[in-house]
A and B are shown apart, each in its own frame.
Chain A
Amino acid sequence: MKGMKNTLAVAIAVALLPFDANAEDVAVFPTRTQSGSGAAQSVTRAVETGVADAASLKGLEVLAGNTLRSSIVQSGLSTNCSDYSCEIATAKSIGATLVVSSSLVNFEGRWLVELTVHDTLSGQTLASHQAQAGSISQLASILNTKAKVVMAMALKDSSRTALEDDEPEAKSFPKSSSQRSAPPKRTAPKTKRTKTKPTKTKPTKTKRTKTTAVDVGIKEDAGLAVAVRWGIIKPIGAMGAFTSMGQASRVEVVRKADQLSFGGAIQASTHNVANYEEQAVAGCYEGNNTCFVGDYSLLTLSGVARKAVVDNPEFKVQAQGTAGVAFRRSPVIERYYVEEVVEYWNGSRPTREPSAGFLPALGGGIDVAFPSGHSAVRFTTFIGGELVVGHGASTQFVIGLESPF
């Protein structure tokens, strides 16, 4: 009953829009997805049906499926669009005024579809709406109504924009209607609007517009997230004896989940070390031979796994482990290293070469994230350690930001 009421309300809303029955083409592109063509086809069909229903009330012609494909091919364009700007440009080229785009993703077993309507003349987003369900069949069943809603929003927005611009040639659909009275806005003449403006023909581009925020009931703490971090890193053990605190920069991309998250990380650190002459004076070649040539950089590529330990609205604590490879580099010239530096160390050549190949690296620590109340970005801290086999161990403390994308 409720569904019927919604459908009726949408139908009435669309019917009451100040629209003429001019033939304005609406291009409905196939749903973009990386989750399988079968699911995308079902969603595409549901969207096409909903858009066609809404458009028929306004006498708009809908281009979809094979008809759309044929029109695109006849225009000599590609039928494979992977983003909004391509779809807008293609739709404009075949004479469509509006373009309906949709994308389908799957988060933790739930399907989310986003519908967007763009004006091909200005490139503006006229409306955007989201829907989600546990299965494709459920999603398809509600998409008919959702497509009508987004069309109603788009047509309303189009008509308002055109009325404000008062440029009938630039925007063709909101013309005077013989079927209903003109909107009140147009009955109040404005001096400002009496000027005859030249018709603007803007190049097609996707402008930065806001989409409609809709609560879709899916946790944000899932899906891909990137964290950028910076901080300090302090070697311990033999290397720590003559190495100062270094600087670390780190980027992590993780597919987040409630319990166990996986991803990858790249970390670069640079370290200031006492020079080889000072180490020699300190007797580095005696005993355990702790000599090292000098400053070095360490680049680590690793896989990341995180497991939630504490999860509450104020903060989230996760145990983090990494495993990968590290590359150490101290750019000295080998010939002079042997002739001069090793000679300075009383002929003792340490096992730590100035520039090592890829060394196994293992790390671990605790990640604490603090969500922001009104932003997708979180403040994060990480404290932990890393062992690079053949180089040494270090502790590190980094802070940063994390955002979904």
Chain B
Amino acid sequence: MRWASLKALACWMALTATAQASEKVVYTGVGGVHNDPFLKRNIFSAGIQVRPQVRFRDQPTVAFGADVWFSPDLAQSDWKSLTKRLVDDLNIAPDISKINYAVRANAVIYPGKHTNGSIETKVGIGTSFGFVRTTDDLEALDAEMNEDRAVVTQHQIHPCSGLMLVGELWRDNVGLRLRWDNVTFIEGVNATTLEYKGNSALLVDLMVIR
């Protein structure tokens, strides 16, 4: 599955590399998942975008890119107070899993921009496809490492897709971006239980045109 994701990424980058008269943007960002009631997920992100010049227009309105997420596993430090209460006080085992990393290709369209002097602001809407790797928290699941049915689905890689909303602030070749990034996938827990996951993250990216 990892090779499949790398191949998909390579194909996407090869396709985007053919674009002529394009801007190449690299970025790095930090943020976190904001809609998980059980877990705190801090995310570090990096990526590259190719923004081909739109015919007859003075600015790119399309961006094709590849994006990588990494979210460190901090064990129980990742638990929110609700999870601690459920597990420690009430002995309830919530089905929680942690995003470890994600590799995705994306396409963003910028329908609007505003320029004021040397400052340029843009808003964009996009979508992404790729793979996300998750790890089930066996401790929260109240499962031991020798429980085979829990262990077989502890680490999984899933295809994912999602919606992306971005707001960008540019000055010359440097930009700041606020990104709402949604990752939707289907996850297996305890071998046969299927969970529909829709995690959304808020990230701040520092962008540079190369």
Residues of A within 8 A of B (CB): 32, 82-84, 103, 114, 130, 205-208, 210-211, 213, 216, 218, 220, 223, 226, 228-230, 247, 249-251, 266, 268-273, 275-276, 293-297, 299, 329-333, 335-337, 340-341, 372, 375-377, 379, 400-405
Contact = CB atoms under 8 A, between A and B. Distances in A.
Contacts of B135: none
A230 B186 contact: no
A21 B29 CA distance: 50
Contact of A208 (B19, B152, B160, B173): B173
Interface string B174-199: 00000000001111100111111010
A182 B62 CA distance: 45
Contacts of A377: 61, 109-111
Given A205-B173, A249-B163, A333-B149, A297 B186 contact: yes
A405 B185 contact: no
B134 to A, nearest CB: 10
Contacts of B52: 405
A295 B127 contact: no
A269 B125 CA distance: 18
Given A333-B152, A377-B111, A404-B54, A83 B22 contact: yes
Interface string B39-83: 000000000000011111111111010000000000000000000
A276 B193 CA distance: 9
Contacts of B120: 208
A224 B50 CA distance: 15
B125 A401 contact: yes
* 6 nearest A-B pairs in the assembled complex, by CB-CB distance: A268-B161, A294-B194, A331-B188, A336-B191, A295-B194, A249-B161
Given A228-B109, A275-B194, A403-B109, A376 B20 contact: no
Nearest to A107: B55
B109 A336 contact: no
Contacts of A400: 125
B167 interface: no
Contact of A296 (B57, B186, B191): B186
A295 B95 CA distance: 15
B107 interface: yes
B21 A103 contact: yes
A297 B131 CA distance: 12
Contacts of B32: none
Contact of B111 (A332, A401, A404): A401
B108 A228 contact: yes
Contacts of A220: 55-56
Contacts of A403: 54, 61-62, 109-110
Contacts of B125: 228, 400-401
Given A205-B210, A268-B159, A295-B186, 18 more contacts: A83-B21, A103-B21, A208-B23, A208-B173, A210-B58, A218-B56, A247-B198, A249-B161, A294-B193, A297-B185, A333-B153, A333-B191, A336-B191, A376-B56, A403-B62, A405-B52, A405-B54, A405-B55
Interface string B13-43: 0000001111100000000000000000000
B55 A270 contact: no
B84 interface: no
17 contacts: A205-B209, A205-B210, A247-B184, A249-B129, A249-B162, A269-B161, A270-B198, A294-B194, A296-B194, A331-B188, A332-B191, A333-B152, A340-B192, A376-B61, A401-B109, A404-B54, A405-B19
B184 A276 contact: no
Q: What size tier do the contact residues of chain B reach?
A: 35 or more
Contact of B196 (A207, A266, A293, A295): A295
Contacts of B5: none
Contacts of A332: 188, 191-192, 194
B121 interface: no
Contacts of A331: 153, 156, 158, 186-188, 194
B141 to A, nearest CB: 15
Contacts of B161: 249, 268-270, 297
B127 A333 contact: no
Given A226-B62, A377-B61, A372 B111 contact: yes
Contacts of A249: 127-129, 161-163, 184
A266 B186 CA distance: 18
Of the listed residues A216, A228, A266, A372, the one surrounded by the most CB atoms of chain B closer than 10 A to its CB is: A228
A103 B20 contact: yes
B55 A275 contact: no
A330 to B, nearest CB: 6
Nearest to B157: A331
Q: Which of A273, A331, A332, A337 has the most CB of B within 10 A?
A: A331
Given A329-B159, A332-B194, A337-B192, A251 B107 contact: yes
Contacts of A228: 107-109, 125-127
A250 B187 contact: no
B27 to A, nearest CB: 15
Contacts of B117: none
B91 to A, nearest CB: 22
Contact of B192 (A213, A336, A404): A336
Contacts of A205: 173, 209-210
Contacts of B191: 332-333, 335-336, 340
A405 to B, nearest CB: 4
Most A C-beta atoms less than 10 A away, residue of B127, B129, B153, B160: B127
